Every structure is written in C-alpha cells, then in structure tokens.
Structure 1
Amino acid sequence: MTTVEICVSDVPTALVAEAAGAHRLELCADLGQGGTTPSLGTVEVALRTLRRAAVRVMVRPRGGDFRVSEVEEQVMLADIAAIRGLPNPHGLAVGVVVGALTAAGGLDLAVLRRLIEAAGPLPVTVHKAFDEVGDQLRAIEELVDLGADAVLTSGGAPTALAGAPRIAALRQRAGDRLRVIAGGGIRSHNVRQVLAETGAREVHLRAPVRRDGREATDGTEVRRVVDAARDRTPVEDR
C-alpha cells in the first residue's frame, strides 16, 4: 500500500485520522500559517493515545518565511531535544519535520545540518520550504548529504498534479537515498492520478471539514484516500 500521511492539528484530529486508516500523521499547530510546532503536551498526549500510526512532529517556531535566525534555531533545537525525551509507550515511529532557507532562496545547509544532527536517531523530513528552492535536483543531493530521511514537495508547483513531472524527476534522482513525499492539493478524487504521474509511494494531505465551528479531520475522506491509494507497494511506516 502507498503510505498516506495526514496533517493534523491536535490530538482529537490525530485519533480520527488514525482510526480512518492513515499510516502516518504530521502533527502541527496553526495550520493557517502552514503549520508550526505543536505544544509539548499535545505531542506527549498524542504518543500516549495513538496506537499504530507513525508520527512526524513539525518543528517550526513561527509562520512566515523560512529563514531561521540564531534565536529561532535555538528554539528549534530545544524543541527537538524535548520531543526526543518524551515517553513513547506504544513504540510509535516518531520523527520531526524541519526546514530552513537562506536569504538567497537556497537550503540553509548549516542550520539544517545542526537540526538533523540534534534529531539523532529520529528521522527528519524537510517540509515544503523545499518548494521555494530553484535548483531542486541539486537540493536533493544536498539533503542526501545532510542525512535527511525524506522531503515533502509539490515539485515547486501549486499542486502535486501540476508538479508531477518534477516530482517524478526528483524521485528518480533520489533513488533509495531519500524518500520523496508528494503533497499539495491531493484528495481522494485525484490521488490515483498523482501516484500514476509521479511514481510516488507516499502522499501527504489535509482532510479538513468544518465541525462545531472549527476545522476538524474528515475521517471519511481519509478512508477514501487510503482506499484509492491502495496498491501492491508495501507501506513504509518509518
């Protein structure tokens, strides 16, 4: 099966996504800003209450651009250390999601290196800041050299479908050295087309629905995506 990763904003939505069959969850706060670091309590309770889904925790101290100041880097390093120290009673596969760019629009290799080193054994995904990088094929090599586990991308386009040729090229360049996760505008009605055109084995999406005056996760849509994406490829729940 293709790995389906659902972006969630709190523990209740994480539980809904897991119950609907999501293989991995990206746990964030403030999705209106593209996702920021969730509270330590949110992460701790998620690890205590989830039973099988892998978890990736967003580590991003603020919304806005992806330039990381010295103070913000210190905050990110402290957050990573705190996440590493949390109890994980069910042995869930836990990792972190980070990103950092230079003023010139390239990957901030120095900051990313320190963040990845701080994560230690935890797998690190580089988030869609990657889509602001001009030379993405070169950036793939840089991420491999840094030891990143995965990168989330729409191929520099507004959606994964629009960026499908680039995502396919990035996957070819990465090979087995780095996992390329397709994300951007993916839903149950188009996930098969995204998989066919990109060759991706992993997809990332939100499944939002308004409930009780706020955004929640649509478990029915998650299940539809999981069912639509099902193929003969083993799930890589790392």
Structure 2
Amino acid sequence: MSEDFKKKFDDVLNKIKRELDSIAKRIDEYLEKGEIYRAYRIWRDAVLDSLKMLRNALNTLGEEFKDIKFSEDDLNNIAKYTREGIREIVDKLEEIGNRIRELRGRGYLWIWFDLKPIKDLFQEVAEEVNVTMDGVLSHVEKFISSLEKAFEDTGRRASQVVSVRIKEKDLELIDRLVEVGIFRSRSEAVAFFTRRGIESSKDWIEKALEHAKKIKELQEAIRREIGGEEGEEDKENQGKP
C-alpha cells in the first residue's frame, strides 16, 4: 500500500518540477535582460507556490490513507520517501535562486532557512514508538511550514534592503529612463545611481527625460512625414496608366 502513496506523491512532485522548469526559463530570460529584481520576485512566488502545492497534496493524501493500517516499516519508508521528494524540490528551488544570488552587485538576494536539517526532522519520525500516518504527515507539515516562514522572511528582508537602497518612486523614475532608452535595463540604471545617487542626479535626470521626449516626438514626426510621402507616391502610381 505504501507504493500507492509513493505513486501519487510522485505525480505531485513531477507536476511541481515541470512548473519549476518553465519558471527557470522565464527567470533566465529576465536575468539576461538584467531585470534581476523581477527574476527574484518570480522565484520567490515559485517557492511559496511549490510549498503550497506540497502541503495541499500531503493533506489530500493524508485524508485518503488515514484509515489504512500501515506497518511501521511502511511508515518509515513513506517518511524517507517524502523527505527525499521534498529535498528534490528544495534543491531545485535553491539552484534557481543561486543563479540570482551569484550575480555581481546583488548580494542582498540570498536563500536562508531557519529550521532543523531535513535529516534531523525526519529522524524524529523514525524514533517514535507508535508511528502513524498522522504522525508522519504532522512532521512533514511542520517542515513545510518552517520552509514557508523562512522564504517569507527572506522575501521581506530582501524587499526591505531594496527599499532602503532605492525608493519606489525612484524605481518608477528609473523605469522611465529605461523605457526611453537611456539605460538598457533597470539593473544598469540601479548600478549607476547606486554609485552616483539619485537625489544628486535629479537635474540631470529631468534634462535627460526632456531630451528623450523631444527625440521621441521628432521620430514620430519623421515617421508621419515618411508615411505621408509614401501614401502620396502610391496615389500617383495608381493614377498612372
């Protein structure tokens, strides 16, 4: 019967892994563009979503198998198998997070766990005299809750550091500079203003935006003029025999 549990748990793990593979590709695309904070937020959401899926799946499996009499060996095998499955997901999440953390100048992105090592947590299950399915899933639930809290704290701390470095209104200003083409990416602009300071660059920023606005207006005027001339030529050509 423990094989039935493993098969259904595998289905959940494989679904999460497929989701993470897709998310990893999106994150790599943002990293290539230099949009590191956006990549971080996608990663953090993926962490919490994955843990939520694990929790819901284990709750469902717990209800499904709660009335079944498992041997102590079966329960210990389930605990071990569940541990390894969760470890695979956490390793995958950590691997993606490390891609973000390792980028130069982004030391405020890190992965932090405030919990017992996985092996210690599940050792408690093996040491219980009266091992039950509820007991196994209860320990797993504590483990996932600890992971969720750790990642939520990570996100809160990272957001606090980001907000200390650059205010939200300044980030909006930076995005405008990126939009008009003065910087190639937000990260490039952030790196520039981290060195120079946004407040001391206000006059320069306003002038840059004003010049960019004029250039954009000129480009649009030229496009309209070119479009108008092409339209006139088409009319003339249509009128010729």
TM-score (norm 2): 0.27
Q: Return the structure number with greater strand share.
A: 1
Larger Rg: 2
TM-score (norm 1): 0.27
